[in-house]
Amino acid sequence: MSSQDIPEENLPAEQGGTHVPKPADEKNPFADPGLPPHEHRIQDIDERAAKRSERTVALLFTVSMLATIGFIASFVAIPHDKSIYVWPLGHINAMNLALGLTLGVALFTIGAGAVHWARTLMSDEEVADERHPIEASPEVRAKVHADFKQGAKESVIGRRKLIRNTMLGALTLVPLSGVVLLRDLGPLPGTKLRHTLWSKGKLLVNMNTNEPMRPSDIAVGSLTFAKPEGLEEHDHGFQNEIAKAALMIIRLEPEAIKDKRELEWSHEGIVAYSKICTHVGCPISLYEQQTHHALCPCHQSTFDLADGARVIFGPAGHALPQLRIGVNDEGYLEALSDFEEPVGPAFWERG
Amino acid sequence: MSTAANEAPRSRGKAPAGERVADWADGRLGIYSLAKANMRKIFPDHWSFMLGEICLYSFIIIILTGVYLTLFFHPSMNEVEYHGSYIPMQGQLMSEAYKSTLDISFDVRGGLLIRQIHHWAAIIFLAGMFVHMMRVFFTGAFRKPREINWLFGFLLFVLGMFTGFTGYSLPDDLLSGTGVRFTQGAILSVPIVGTYISMFLFGGEFPGTDFVARFYSIHILLLPGIMLGLVVGHLILVFYHKHTQFAGPGKTNKNVVGMPLLPVYMAKAGGFFFLVFGVIAAIAGIASVNPIWSIGPYRPDQVSTGAQPDWYMGFAEGLVRAMPGWEINFWGHTLVLGVFVPLVIFGLFLAIIALYPFIESWVTGDKREHHILDRPRNAPTRTAFGVAWVTAYMIMLIGGGNDIVATHFHLSINAVTWFVRIGFFVGPVIAFVITKRICLGLQRRDKEKVLHGRESGIIKRLPHGEFIEVHEPLSQEQLHTLTAHEQYKPVEIGPTVDENGVERKVKRTEKLRAKLSKSYYGEESQIPKPTVEEYKEITSGHGHH
Ligand code: HEM
Ligand code: FES
């Protein structure tokens, strides 16, 4: 990044700085005329105007005091669950509105008072301060460098290489303990992301009714959400399991199913797909029965559920995994295995 | 001051109490030396300098309200049944974090207000930083000696984004949980280490029972601690470098013109704190933000439609939405480009603006201090670059709400997405070209004004019937202000043979720099400012123009 090779004369003359404009220099019409003379405000000349400003400031501060009293009164007096209708805000919590407005006014008027005071009554004469270069003078620079060299020399670190090297080694190693300590933040991934609660024989339980389902419960064109039997909301670890096992069940006319494997893994036109979007994992919630499209509300990935749930629009990178289903002896829908591939977003080890 | 200095020291008993306390403190802390340098320090005035103040004050407001929230918030993901005073949620299962947020909103008087102030202040904090950063960028205030402070500010913006993100994830509601899921999905896309980072961050599989507590300590301690340090450093540097100022009569690179800290600036800035706080409190009273009770507790298998992050995450959201879902499978591995590429672009895009000061100073080779601000028009290439950057940012922000844009304007989501994809690349180019033209046009107009005076609005009829507008000559103040800016010459590669006639190898970087320098300062990139000779020739020649 050196600029040695850029000739100095290529840089423009410093702004106003180097050749301090001489006011006498009448030849240069662009020269800096210097600070303009100070112009008096009405308050500087007319004591009555100044008095008016004083009263305005005092009024603002007084309003602030009143607003604070209003705040405390609202806090004490308004029932905290009272809702009121305020146009155009709609129904809102009365206390929140009162507290917000009174606090807002109490603070705002202090500010307004202070600013008005500063603008009208405090001196508004502009003054100039000098700047000094940030970098040190050459003498200071030389002194610091010399001091440092002296210090380094006295430490003998340059001569005693063994000390220096072992010290660097020790200092490099010691943070490792800190890194190691982080190990138990969580388990290793292992194959956790490849398995879900589904396995052969697990019944499909309707998320709404909490009942197992028969094929006849599922109408063509409907969308049903399901979970594996035995997984209850109150269970420990429910959230983790449902995050992978959530299922979306639809019924198509078997002729409408375009994908061969999808047809094989379905039962009487009933197909079960993972509800977890393969993009970054939102649950898919919208289904259009005419087109058989399922839509993820997060980033609008759209999957064709009649065609192996392949992605037809949006940022998802692969189709939704399908769960192989059938019916058991009692006629309830059941899983025939776990998902064959990991559900949810893709990851490095997915393959 | 002089009278005070001349007075003999008063006897201890008589000095006013304040003075005695100050003397006591000075004996221990040396505050007088500090005050001597700073109490009457000069601060220049310009509306755009208030942007930084807005950031500072909202940061203070966030800390104050945040501490209050910690008194009531329970950062725990234990599942509990709700029995509080919000009737529609009775008996629902939810995490303690969510429940305590409901309690803050419904059972702690004023709790809802403080929550909303905290959230609104966060939104304004980040918006303030963004605009403040743009102010600094477009006026060239990042130039030497302020590059490090530019980096401090940039870091504050980035950390602010993550603090905001960890903050709005804390209530563990359906909306923010979806955002956390998004983040986890994005982490998974990182090659090789993605699954490990995810497991370590969440203490196992998503969502687990740890992330609220972990985000909590990151949100209230780690990130705000770092940010506080940066803010203090930022302010110390502002004090130390002294404020920049725009060119004008009496203002040079060697001085700073304005009003003293005590009393004017202190009253204005202190008052401004109350103004900002007051406005935010009123907004928090009127406009509800993040009504978590109407969204519901987080469940990984449920989602609300139209899910949107806070605005400052919209850019990342847009990138992820616009990127085509590319996935490459090889040797049993998956490269999730569809998610990982946006992640990388996100970083690079921010890095570009962070490093810009160093790029520009390399191109100009200018190592001098700059305390006079540029008017954006006088640095056309920089300004055009900045506008291009903002354009890309804004397009992605739109992309982050593509579904909302689509439904609102009755467009197909497909069309909006394609607009964003193309716009991200084409938009900045168009913006660059247009901005540069506008800047050059404005420079020409300035030149015109200097040489021919200002249009007075008075129309005069000349003897031969022609109508002309009378131009008034500018005052010397205006002439100076309009011609004070400096203009660089493009860097030449220089002779390719040295004095001995030996061919010198021209380094690649040297060529690149010459090229860049030309695009910055070449003939097409700046209008030579009027010279005194030009001015004299015109003004002495014919009087009336
Ligand atoms: C510095 C920048 C900070 C930003 C941008 C920020 C932002 C946020 C946001 C957006 C929320 C969500 C609020 C909601 O709608 O529920 C939040 C929650 C919270 N923040 Fe902060 N915050 C910051 C600093 C702090 C600090 C310093 C503390 C405490 C010392 C704090 C304590 C909390 C607590 C306890 C919550 C959860 C309570 C709740 O959500 O109601 N924050 N933060
Ligand atoms: S998570 Fe479904 S589209 Fe992004």
To 10 degrees, what angle do helices B174-188 and B337-364 make?
80
Contacts of residue A33 in chain B, CB cutoff 8 Å? 249-250, 476-477, 480
Question: From the list A20, A107, A299, which residue is nearest B320 (CB)?
Answer: A299
**CA-closest residue to ligand 1 atom 18:** B167
What pLDDT shows up at residue A19?
41
Choice from A274, A276, A295, A299 to test ligand 2 binding pocket (greatest atom count within 8 A of CB): A299
- Tokens 């662009």 label which residue? A30
pLDDT (tens digit, 9 = 90+) per residue, A156-206?
A: 988 999 999 999 999 999 999 999 999 999 999 999 999 999 999 999 999
Candidate from A104, A118, A188 with C-beta closest to B282: A104
Window B:247-306, CB contacts with A under 8 Å: 247, 249-260, 263-264, 267-268, 270-288, 298-306
Task: Say if CB A204 and CB A248 are below 8 A apart.
Answer: no
Among A16-30, B223-237, B470-484, the minimum mean pLDDT is found in A16-30
CATH number of B50-346: 1.20.810.10
pLDDT at A269: 93
Res A26: pLDDT: 59
Among B61, B67, B68, B69, say which to mutate for ligand 1: greatest number of ligand atoms within 8 Å of CB. B69
Domains of chain A, by residue range, sit at 42-120, 193-335
Q: Which residues 117-146 on chain A approach chain B with CB closer than 8 angstroms?
A: 117-119, 122-131, 133-135
Q: How many CB atoms lie within 10 A of CB B58?
A: 26
**DSSP for B243-294?**
--EE-BTTB-TTEEEEEEIIIIIHHHHHHHHHHHHHHHHHHHHHS----HHH
Tens-digit pLDDT profile for residues B472-496: 888 999 999 999 998 988 888 777 7
Position B199 scores a pLDDT of 97
ipTM of this predicted complex? Answer: 0.91
- C-alpha distances in Å from residue B227, one per residue of A76, A244, B153, B480: 37, 37, 10, 41
Helical H segments across B95-219, by residue range: 96-106, 111-138, 147-169, 174-188, 194-202, 211-217
| pLDDT recorded at residue A130 | 92
Is A278 touching ligand 2 by the criterion CB < 6 Å? no
- The pLDDT tens digits for A295-331 are 998 998 999 999 999 999 999 999 999 999 999 999 9
Atom of ligand 2 minimally distant from the CA of A281: 1
Q: What whole-number distance in Å separates Cα of residue B32 and Cα of residue B38?
A: 10
List the structure tokens of A211.
């009942």
Kindly report the nearest CA distance between residue B464 and chain A, in angstroms.
33
- What's the confidence (pLDDT) of residue A18? 39
Average pLDDT value for residue range A226-253: 94
Ligand 2: does its nearest atom lie under 6 Å from the Cβ of A296?
Answer: yes
Residue B373, helix vs strand vs coil: strand
Asked if residue B402 lies in contact with residue B321, where contact means CB atoms within 8 angstroms, the answer is yes
Supply the mean pLDDT for chain B: 92
A window 40-59, beta carbon within 8 A of B: none
Of A9-13, A146-150, B159-163, B193-197, the poorest mean pLDDT is in A9-13
Cα–Cα distance measured from residue B300 to residue A227, given in angstroms and rounded to the nearest whole number:
12
Domain segments of chain B as ranges: 1-40, 50-346, 375-493+505-545
Whether B278 sits inside 8 A of A346 (CB atoms) is: no
The A residues from 268 to 287 touching B (CB cutoff 8 Å) are 275-276, 279-283, 285-286
pLDDT higher than 70, residue A13: no
CA distance B449 to A192: 72
The answer, yes or no, to whether any atom of ligand 1 lies below 6 A from the CB of B74, is no
Ligand in closest contact with the CA of B323: 2
Of B186, B337, B325, residue with least CA distance to A302: B325
Q: Give per-residue pLDDT as tens, A253-307.
A: 999 999 999 999 999 999 999 999 999 999 998 999 899 999 998 998 999 999 9
How is domain A193-335 classified at the architecture level of CATH?
3-layer Sandwich (2.102)
How far apart (Å, rounded) are the C-alpha atoms in residues B395 and B412?
17
Cβ <8 Å between A104 and B208: no
Tokens coding A16:
């106003």
Give bridge partners of residue B260 from the DSSP assignment. Answer: B42
Asked if A85 reaches chain B (Cβ–Cβ under 8 Å), the answer is: no
